[in-house]
């Protein structure tokens, strides 16, 4: 009953004309910046943060929140159509979403992404409203040791479950971890592996690597195919999924929602981690894992649902503890501080209209996003009719502008070209790029939590084994390693992915 009273207060705040208007503006901006490669919600929110000075606190936060989870919707559009993940959490979407588009199912792929995102966003918002306090207690049990063990499990799973050669997948993970070491050491403040270049002192930007290895490398591969006018078949197909695709995508949406809702609470790149975790799970439990990476609806629906669910539940530590779970949440704290609102548990009691109004606006925002995105499916799909010799220069220009606009650094454009060449070479060597990106994301976090744990334990490595949750996660990683070492399991895996090597 108390929850219903709180939700009534929230919807009464969210349904005000002013807040509805700002929710629409935020969702529209989020969709647009998600579509544009290299922009993303962080620089956009950073640029718009001063505007919150002149806005009421609730309206300003509703708009910024709409930009954040709206970008998760928009990021899937270019990932599906032209293999360019507009948002980092949409990297996994490229693997099967783009292949569906190449088979003439672009409309169905965009619809699956929109429907899965809508469902996941609504469910995750319900979790945010009903289970904020219990879920925060769960995150309290995760110290740096548990985070390290969780990331080890993620990296092992990425190697074991990657398509093709285990050795190549391991090499990609290691390469990603090495790229993650580039930049300034957070403990000593000493620059590492930057070759004396100031532009590398902040590390290698994830968006540059993702756009180069996936997007521009895809352009280079398509340009090899002489006589083809477009990288995707001209047969666009139906704008909405058929029954078979819905049957395959439905369970994946449910599982992706559950994974994203849980991982979104944990500090770090929750949307990225959840999309990778969902894809790994769907591929692992599928009866036809060889179809993944070739246009499997489950490989699209699961990650898209997971990253949208994670974007909603990432507000839990912000609103209840005042702890930012990612860079966007840190900016949200800045917006609250502008209005002299101290983030933390007291927000529920001292500013109930802000807390519950923001939660209610997320339901409305997800509805606005699905209304915006589903009718636009036909418009996005029509992009495929553009001759490729006209399309690829535009893609190159937008990529270069997007990368340059983030840091206003022309060296980032050079890096983009370098990673495009690297991605092309890796594709010719049949090396899957997704483990590299996962290693790049988890590498800095893995190192930070590892060193923090050893500082706390004064160099005692046994701390990873004496904490029950950490031990359980490491045991799961060991089980995966031992399972793939069994000859019968290894042979079956090699047969499954033989066609992909």
**Least confidently predicted of 56-65, 242-251, 287-296, 396-405:** 396-405
Tell me whether residue 408 is exposed, middle or buried, using C-beta atoms within 10 angstroms of its C-beta: 0 to 12, 13 to 18, 19 or more: exposed
In this prediction, residue 235 carries a pLDDT of 47
Token pair 């923090």 is found at 452
pLDDT, mean of residues 252-272? 79
* Alpha helix positions (H), 269-351: 270-285, 297-313, 315-321, 327-338, 346-350
In this prediction, residue 253 carries a pLDDT of 92
Tell which residue, 470, 440, 433, has the closest CA to residue 177.
Answer: 440
Q: What is the pLDDT of residues 413-428, one digit of tens each?
A: 888 889 889 888 888 8
Model confidence at 298: pLDDT above 50: yes
Model confidence at 202: pLDDT above 70: yes
**Least confidently predicted of 61-65, 114-118, 401-405:** 401-405
Domain ranges of the chain: 2-500
In this prediction, residue 489 carries a pLDDT of 56
- 367's enclosing H/E stretch is helix 352-373
In this prediction, residue 496 carries a pLDDT of 45
Neighbours of 500 (CB within 10 A): 15
Model confidence at 466: pLDDT above 70: yes
In this prediction, residue 269 carries a pLDDT of 54
Most confident of 137-146, 183-192, 301-310: 301-310
Token pair 């060597």 is found at 429
Query: For residue 248, what are its two tokens?
Result: 């395959």
Distance CA 440, CA 449 (A): 15
Query: For residue 363, what are its two tokens?
Result: 């339901």
Residue partners of 350: CB distance under 8 A and separation at least 6 = none
Distance CA 112, CA 92 (A): 14
Q: What is the pLDDT of residues 166-192, one digit of tens each?
A: 788 888 889 988 988 888 887 777 888
Mean pLDDT score of the chain: 78
Q: What is the DSSP letter of 86?
A: S
Residue partners of 223: CB distance under 8 A and separation at least 6 = 392
Query: What is the value of pTM for the model shown?
Result: 0.65
Model confidence at 285: pLDDT above 60: yes
The fraction of the chain above a pLDDT of 90, given in percent, is 3
In this prediction, residue 24 carries a pLDDT of 92
Neighbours of 242 (CB within 10 A): 12
Tell which residue, 295, 237, 249, has the closest CA to residue 80.
Answer: 295
In this prediction, residue 255 carries a pLDDT of 92
SS3 content of the chain, % helix, strand, coil (to 5): 75, 0, 20
Question: CA geometry: angle at 146 spanning 142 and 151, to 5°?
Answer: 120
In this prediction, residue 72 carries a pLDDT of 74
Higher pLDDT, 187 or 489: 187
Query: Both ends of the chain: CA-CA distance in Å?
Result: 57
Token pair 């190697």 is found at 159
Residue 228 binned pLDDT confidence (cut-offs 50, 70, 90): very low
How many whole angstroms from its chain centre is CA 16? Answer: 31
Distance CA 458, CA 464 (A): 13
Model confidence at 10: pLDDT above 60: yes
Q: What is the pLDDT of residues 324-363, one digit of tens each?
A: 666 677 778 778 877 778 776 677 777 888 888 888 888 8
Higher pLDDT, 386 or 80: 80
- Asked if 30 contacts 70 with a C-beta cutoff of 8 angstroms, the reply is yes
pLDDT, mean of residues 262-287? 77
β strands within 57-102, DSSP E: none
How many whole angstroms from its chain centre is CA 410? Answer: 26
In this prediction, residue 270 carries a pLDDT of 64
In this prediction, residue 21 carries a pLDDT of 92
Residue 229 binned pLDDT confidence (cut-offs 50, 70, 90): very low
Model confidence at 495: pLDDT above 60: no
Residue partners of 420: CB distance under 8 A and separation at least 6 = 212, 213, 215, 216, 217, 219, 220
Distances (CA, A) of 472 to 72, 154, 408, 444, 465: 32, 13, 45, 23, 9
- 498's enclosing H/E stretch is none
């Amino acid at each position: 009953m108390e929850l219903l009273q709180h939700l009534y207060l929230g919807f009464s705040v969210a349904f005000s004309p002013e807040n509805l208007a700002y929710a629409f503006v935020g969702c529209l901006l989020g969709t647009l910046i998600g579509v544009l490669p290299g922009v993303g919600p962080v620089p956009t929110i950073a640029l718009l943060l001063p505007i919150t000075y002149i806005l009421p606190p609730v309206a300003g936060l509703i708009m910024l929140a709409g930009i954040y989870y709206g970008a998760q919707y928009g990021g899937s559009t270019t990932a599906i159509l032209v293999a360019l993940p507009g948002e980092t959490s949409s990297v996994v979407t490229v693997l099967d979403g783009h292949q569906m588009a190449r088979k003439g199912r672009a409309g169905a792929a965009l619809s699956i992404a929109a429907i899965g995102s809508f469902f996941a966003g609504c469910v995750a918002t319900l979790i945010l409203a009903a289970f904020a306090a219990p879920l925060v207690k769960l995150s309290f049990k995760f110290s740096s040791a548990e985070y390290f063990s969780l990331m080890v499990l993620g990296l092992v799973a990425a190697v074991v479950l990657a398509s093709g050669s285990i050795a190549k997948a391991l090499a990609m993970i290691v390469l990603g971890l090495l790229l993650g070491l580039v930049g300034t050491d957070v403990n000593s403040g000493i620059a590492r592996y930057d070759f004396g270049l100031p532009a590398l002192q902040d590390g290698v930007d994830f968006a540059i690597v993702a756009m180069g290895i996936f997007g521009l490398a895809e352009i280079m591969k398509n340009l090899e195919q002489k006589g083809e006018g477009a990288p995707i078949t001209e047969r666009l197909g139906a704008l909405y999924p058929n029954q078979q695709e819905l049957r395959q995508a439905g369970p994946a949406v449910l599982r992706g929602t559950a994974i994203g809702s849980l991982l979104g609470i944990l500090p770090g790149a929750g949307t990225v981690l959840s999309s990778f975790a969902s894809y790994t799970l769907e591929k692992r439990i599928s009866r036809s894992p060889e179809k993944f990476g070739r246009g499997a609806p489950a490989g699209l629906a699961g990650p898209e649902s997971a990253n949208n669910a994670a974007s909603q539940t990432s507000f839990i530590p912000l609103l209840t503890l005042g702890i930012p779970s990612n860079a966007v949440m840190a900016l949200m704290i800045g917006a609250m501080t502008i209005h002299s609102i101290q983030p933390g548990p007291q927000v529920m009691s001292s500013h109930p209209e802000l807390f519950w109004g923001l939660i209610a606006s997320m339901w409305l925002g997800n509805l606005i996003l699905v209304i915006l995105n589903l009718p636009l499916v036909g418009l996005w799909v029509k992009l495929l009719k553009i001759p490729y010799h006209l399309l690829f220069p535009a893609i190159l220009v937008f990529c270069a502008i997007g990368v340059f606009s983030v840091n206003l650094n022309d060296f980032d454009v050079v890096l983009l070209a370098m990673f495009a060449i690297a991605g092309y070479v890796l594709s010719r060597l049949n090396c899957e790029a997704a483990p590299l990106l996962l290693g790049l994301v988890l590498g800095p976090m893995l190192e930070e939590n590892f060193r923090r744990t050893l500082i706390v334990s004064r160099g005692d490595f046994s701390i990873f084994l004496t904490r029950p949750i950490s031990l359980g996660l490491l045991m799961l990683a060991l089980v995966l390693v031992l399972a793939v070492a069994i000859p019968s399991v290894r042979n079956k895996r090699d047969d499954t992915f033989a066609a992909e090597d």
